[in-house]
Amino acid sequence: MKGFGSGGLQKIMQQANQMQMKMKKAQEDLATQEFEGGAGGDAVKVKVTGGYKLVSVQIKPDVMSAGDVEMLQDLVVTAANEALKIARETSEKEMSKITGGAGGMPGMF
């Protein structure tokens, strides 16, 4: 491989290792952050972590008193999906900052 002297390859490996460490740190930080999604005018609110773990579900009492179980279930699912979407988008944005948008290297990190 022309152009990859031992110093050049070592530098690339060092940069890849630094990027991997930064990504791991960012993932650890994101895993502790909470993201909230709502549905039905925030009648239902759901919080998830950046590690995609459901943390809490809040339901306004008037939604419960309506007695429409199917509607409540739909609101919980919608709020959870919204929270997960926000968590995923935030994670992708943070990783993109580290990789410089080079997310096309699956399995590398």
- On whether residue 84 sits in a domain, the answer given is yes
Q: Check which CATH number belongs to the domain holding 68 and give it.
A: 3.30.1310.10
User: How many domains does the structure of the chain reveal?
Assistant: 1
Give pLDDT tens digits for 11-53.
888 888 888 898 898 888 888 999 999 999 999 999 999 999 9
- On whether residue 10 sits in a domain, the answer given is no
- On whether residue 63 sits in a domain, the answer given is yes
Which phi and psi (to 5°) does residue 44 adopt?
A: -130, 130
Domain that holds residue 67: 33-98
For every residue of 32-71, DSSP letters joined together read H-EEEEEETTTTEEEEEETT--EEEEEE-HHHHHT--HHH
Predicted confidence (pLDDT) at residue 4 exceeds the cutoff of 90: no
- Report pTM: 0.73
